[in-house]
Amino acid sequence: MQDYLSESPENLIGYLETSFEEFENDGDIGALLLAIKRVAELKGGISELSRKTNLSRQNLYKIFSHKVNPRLDTIIKILNALGYTFSIKEVSHGA
């Protein structure tokens, strides 16, 4: 998995997009947080993420191990620090 993800930025984006879509369908926050953690590890590690977000490493590890439920603003802060943004799309209803 790590090799595939580290091959290109597009792979990371696709992985996160798929993870958010799966979360939307199954509500498994643990799986979503694991995906974000994997990306963080590939983009400098948890210490670097801590520095960029001003969140302690301990708090980040609690978030990623699903010992606490992060607020939406915290998830957005983490995504921004990783170089991504959170966006909204209209739901398409197939006819």
Per-residue pLDDT tens for 28-55? 999 999 999 999 999 999 999 999 999 9
Residue 61: inside a domain, yes or no? yes
Residue 39: inside a domain, yes or no? yes
Residue 17: inside a domain, yes or no? yes
Residue 95: inside a domain, yes or no? no
Q: Is the pTM of this model over 0.85?
A: yes
Residue 23: inside a domain, yes or no? yes
The pLDDT, as a whole number, for residue 88 is 84
The pLDDT, as a whole number, for residue 91 is 81
Give the angle subtended at the CA of 88 by the CAs of 86 and 91, to the nearest 5°. Answer: 145
Residue 22: inside a domain, yes or no? yes
Number of domains in the chain: 1
Residue 86: inside a domain, yes or no? no
* Structural domain range at position 14: 2-81
Residue 41: inside a domain, yes or no? yes
The residues of the chain scoring below 70 in pLDDT are: 1-2, 4, 94-95
